Structure 1
Amino acid sequence: MIILSYFEPETGAWQQISYEQLPAQLPADAKLWINLNDATAEEQLQVLRRFAIVPTLAEDFSRQRHPPKLESQTDFTLLIMRGYADADFSEYTGSAQVNLLYSKKVLISRVHCHNPQLLAQLTPQINGNSQITVADWIKQLILSVSASYLEKLISFEDEQSELEDAMLHRGNDEQMALIMRYRSVLRKINRNLAYQKDIFSDAMYEEQSPLLRHFSSTELRDFYEKFERLHSMTDLYYDQLSDLVEGYLSTTSHQINERMKVLTIVSTIFIPLTFIAGIYGMNFIYMPELQMPNGYFTVLIAMALGGVAGLIWFKIRGWW
């Protein structure tokens, strides 16, 4: 289903119209938003042909999953962005894909988002305002995409602090598994933010950037700084989680080494004693010491002295 919101310059009002009612030639002051969220593939193709969108842009716009991208033709610009649609960073089920084709008078949008609340934020707001422009819609969507990350990252800061304290006092494998999930999610959203940061970074220094048709250099710098800050935050959190993993592994390795040291000392003490016991446990008839009246006690004393001497030696060498 194609949903059209059309601003009629003569009446100065917004109205919902059908695709068949769309004028063949839009008036100079007209504004049009075409929502293709629920449109079929045939309806999408119909709209894209109506506005003479080149096949390469049409193909990228129609994809449900595509990395963030900026590309333009003579009249229309393609902007693809990705928002964060999950409740937190414990699980990543998929990004909110925002596909936009726009000119000065027309916005064609297709948003894939499983989060109803975020989907509402990624829907252009008209509110009967006759002064609103397509550039205002695009700006609103860009800010909504950046806000979808910022809210989660700010909340995650407190959660990560609690996790650090827990790992310091009573770290366990369950918390390690949670950290690994967090790292995986942060790595994925870091890629999305890097793409989007580069879009606005390039736009600031390209004189022919399509974004300059609708936004000032100050606005582009603001967009860039927002995504650059988000990208830096994900880098910081990822590095902190990596430090937690390395710290936990180092602590675990140290504990294992301490246990192995104790086992090694015990083994070193008892190996000579076992050797002596093995000798006198052999079933030979002619063994001189077997005829000694105090042989049993002599051997026990010798074994005890050997064990104590080994412990003293370890203590002197600083091995225990």
Structure 2
Amino acid sequence: MIRTIAVNKKNELVKDLTIRDVLNGDFHWYWVDFNIPTDEEIEFLREPFHFHPLAIEDCIHNLQRPKLDYYEEYTFFVTQALNQKMITREEIDFFLSKNYIITFHHQFSPEIDDVWNKFTLSTSTEKWDPSHVLYLVLDKMVDNYFPLVYQIEDRLNEIDENSKRRTMEELLEDLFDTRHHLLSLRHTITPMRDLIYRVLNSQRMSSIQGKWEYYSDIHDHLLKLSEMIEANRELTTDIRDSYISLNSHQTNHVMKVLTVITTIFMPLTFIAGLYGMNFHYMPELTWKYGYFATLGVMVLVAIGMSIWFMKKGWFK
């Protein structure tokens, strides 16, 4: 679906125009949104817009890395939004010029839809222009990153506290899933941060002159998000190392107990094996009290070794 809106020379909104009407009309500027376009609608990027083939290719091939490309009459942006439910990346592309902004996305974009509705309901168009639309969409995209990061922080606190008394295997599985989500967020937020940094330091972005502070605010938010993600990744590493250390400690404790028990039974096994050889000439075998004496010696050896191990601190 393609939807259009334009601002004429009288600063009035004109809606529901065709592509031909938009290009042939006398407008101050216009916005064309390619919302989940069909193959036939994608062809409008080639004719009549005549965008560069490389930019069109980036639009068609989904989930490109966020980037900024300069062309003679416009600037092309590849950005990534995050699906709040699926925690997946969704690409949104922009063609920005002083006279127009073209948005292109293969999935429904709540950010673009919110800005579109806000624009169509606005009573004044004086502050609106293509760079302002770009700022509003990017700002909403970045703001929607925060709930996902906060959600991950809550999960990490739950894993750290283990209030539900889950097993260590369940906790580690949840922890590695959380690290995977953090990695996915970092793959989105870091390139977006670099993209906004390029915008702020570009000498060719004349279309956003006078709005540097707005884009700088977006960059500050992305810096904060990057720091939060790195801090959470370090926290997941600390939690993982703590659980692994705890597991190793428990394993060592079990092995120590088993070692003590095995050590105590070693001389008892030797005595039992010695008198279990059944040689004919063994005087102890014919002694009336030999059986009870052997058991007594074995008990004394076991008690003596246990007391000695306790003094050595092996049972702590």
TM-score, structure 2 as length reference: 0.89
| Distance in 1 (alpha carbons) for counterparts of 2:217 and 2:71 | 25
Is the contact made by 1:61 and 1:100 (CA closer than 8 Å) also made in structure 2? no
Task: Please state how far the C-alpha of 1:79 moved relative to its aligned partner.
Answer: 1.2
What does the per-residue CA deviation read over 1:252-288, in whole Å, with 9 as the maximum and x for residues that have no partner? 1111111111011001111221121112122322222
Is the contact made by 1:95 and 1:113 (CA closer than 8 Å) also made in structure 2? no
Which structure 2 residues correspond to residues 69-84 of structure 1 after superposition, within 5 A?
A: 69-84=67-82
Over the residues paired in the alignment, what is the CA RMSD in angstroms?
Answer: 2.4
Q: Which of 117, 131, 135 pairs up with 1:135?
A: 131
| Distance in 1 (alpha carbons) for counterparts of 2:81 and 2:11 | 36
Secondary structure of the structure 2 residue equivalent to 1:66: coil
The one-letter amino acid paired with 1:50 is P
Q: Which of 294, 298, 303 pairs up with 2:298?
A: 303
Over 3 Å counting, the alpha-carbon distance change for 1:180 and 1:45 in structure 2 is: same
Structure 1 residue 105 and structure 2 residue 99: aligned?
yes
Secondary structure of the structure 1 residue equivalent to 2:58: helix
The one-letter amino acid paired with 1:263 is L
Structure 1 residue 196 and structure 2 residue 189: aligned?
no
- Of residues 37-46 and 66-75 in structure 1, the stretch that sits farther from structure 2 once superposed is 37-46
What does the per-residue CA deviation read over 1:170-196, in whole Å, with 9 as the maximum and x for residues that have no partner? 653222211111110111111211101
The one-letter amino acid paired with 1:101 is F
Over 3 Å counting, the alpha-carbon distance change for 1:306 and 1:119 in structure 2 is: farther
Secondary structure of the structure 2 residue equivalent to 1:100: strand
The one-letter amino acid paired with 1:12 is E
Task: Please state how far the C-alpha of 1:125 moved relative to its aligned partner.
Answer: 3.5
Over 3 Å counting, the alpha-carbon distance change for 1:304 and 1:122 in structure 2 is: farther
| Distance in 1 (alpha carbons) for counterparts of 2:80 and 2:225 | 13
| Distance in 2 (alpha carbons) for counterparts of 1:230 and 1:122 | 23
| Distance in 1 (alpha carbons) for counterparts of 2:74 and 2:174 | 44
Which structure 2 residues correspond to residues 1-320 of structure 1 after superposition, within 5 A?
A: 1-9=1-9, 12-24=12-24, 27=26, 29-87=27-85, 92=87, 94-113=88-107, 117=110, 120-121=113-114, 123=116, 125-126=118-119, 127-128=121-122, 129-131=124-126, 132-166=128-162, 172-206=168-202, 208-210=203-205, 212-215=206-209, 216-320=211-315
Secondary structure of the structure 1 residue equivalent to 2:181: helix
What does the per-residue CA deviation read over 1:273-309, in whole Å, with 9 as the maximum and x for residues that have no partner? 1121112122322222112222112211211122122
Is the contact made by 1:124 and 1:137 (CA closer than 8 Å) also made in structure 2? no
Is the contact made by 2:35 and 2:107 (CA closer than 8 Å) also made in structure 1? no
Secondary structure of the structure 2 residue equivalent to 1:220: helix
| Distance in 2 (alpha carbons) for counterparts of 1:252 and 1:11 | 68
Task: Please state how far the C-alpha of 1:228 moved relative to its aligned partner.
Answer: 0.8
Task: Please state how far the C-alpha of 1:77 moved relative to its aligned partner.
Answer: 0.9
Is the contact made by 1:123 and 1:141 (CA closer than 8 Å) also made in structure 2? no
Matched-pair identity in %: 24
Runs (5+) with no aligned partner, structure 2? none
- Of residues 57-66 and 155-164 in structure 1, the stretch that sits farther from structure 2 once superposed is 155-164
Over 3 Å counting, the alpha-carbon distance change for 1:73 and 1:297 in structure 2 is: same
Over 3 Å counting, the alpha-carbon distance change for 1:78 and 1:11 in structure 2 is: closer
Is the contact made by 1:124 and 1:140 (CA closer than 8 Å) also made in structure 2? no
Task: Please state how far the C-alpha of 1:163 moved relative to its aligned partner.
Answer: 2.8
Count of matched residue positions in the alignment of Structure 1 and Structure 2: 311
The one-letter amino acid paired with 1:95 is R
TM-score, structure 1 as length reference: 0.88
